[in-house]
Amino acid sequence: MKAAIFTEPGKPLEIAEAEIDEPRPREVSFRTSAVGLCRSDLHFLDGVYPYPAPTILGHEAAGVVEAVGSEVRHVQPGDHVVSFLAPSCGSCRLCQNGQHTLCQDPSMQRAPDDKQRLSIGGEDIAQFLNLSGFAEEMLVHENAVVKITEDMPMDRAALIGCSVVTGAGSVFNACGIKAGESIAIVGAGGIGLSAINAAKIAGAGEIIAIDPVASKRALAEKMGATKTFDALDEDVVERVIAATGGGVDYAIECVGKAVTAQLTWKILRRGGSAVIVGMIPPGEMMEIHGPEFLQGKSIKGALMGAGHFMQDMPRLVDHYLAGRLDLDTVIAERIALEDINDGFEKLRSGDSTRSVIVFD
What CATH code is carried by the domain that includes residue 215? 3.40.50.720
Of 29, 33, 40, 83, catalytic: 40
The vertex-344 CA angle with 338 and 349, nearest 5°, equals 145
- Residue 308 annotated among the catalytic residues of the structure: no
Whether residue 320 is contained in a domain is answered as: no
The pLDDT of residue 353 is: 72
Whether residue 334 is found in the same domain as residue 226: no
Which range marks the domain in which residue 288 is found?
Answer: 167-304
Whether residue 246 is found in the same domain as residue 340: no
The vertex-8 CA angle with 7 and 9, nearest 5°, equals 140
The 8 Å CB, 24+ separation contacts for 175-181 are: 175/250, 175/252, 175/273, 175/275, 177/202, 177/204, 177/249, 177/250, 178/202, 178/203, 179/203, 179/204, 179/205, 180/204, 180/205, 181/205, 181/249, 181/250
Whether residue 142 is found in the same domain as residue 172: no
The list of the chain residues with pLDDT below 70 reads 351-352
Rounded to the nearest integer, the mean pLDDT of the chain is: 95
Whether residue 342 is found in the same domain as residue 284: no
Whether residue 323 is contained in a domain is answered as: no
Whether residue 11 is found in the same domain as residue 87: yes
Whether residue 69 is found in the same domain as residue 113: yes
Whether residue 179 is found in the same domain as residue 135: no
Domain boundary among 304, 320, 344: 304
The pLDDT of residue 351 is: 61
The pLDDT of residue 352 is: 62
Of 38, 103, 175, 254, catalytic: 38
Whether residue 159 is contained in a domain is answered as: no
Residue 274's CB is within 10 A of a number of other CB atoms, namely 26
pLDDT tens for each residue of 221-261: 999 999 999 999 999 999 999 999 999 999 999 999 999 99
Whether residue 128 is found in the same domain as residue 230: no
Whether residue 184 is found in the same domain as residue 216: yes
pLDDT tens for each residue of 6-30: 999 999 999 999 999 999 999 999 9
Whether residue 87 is contained in a domain is answered as: yes
Of 80, 83, 162, 163, catalytic: 162
The pLDDT of residue 350 is: 76
Q: How far apart are CA 75 and CA 218, in angstroms?
A: 40
The pLDDT of residue 360 is: 78
Of 43, 100, 141, 319, catalytic: 43
Whether residue 309 is contained in a domain is answered as: no
- Residue 40 annotated among the catalytic residues of the structure: yes
Domain total for the chain? 2
Of 59, 80, 100, 141, catalytic: 59
- Residue 162 annotated among the catalytic residues of the structure: yes
**Stated pTM of the model:** 0.94
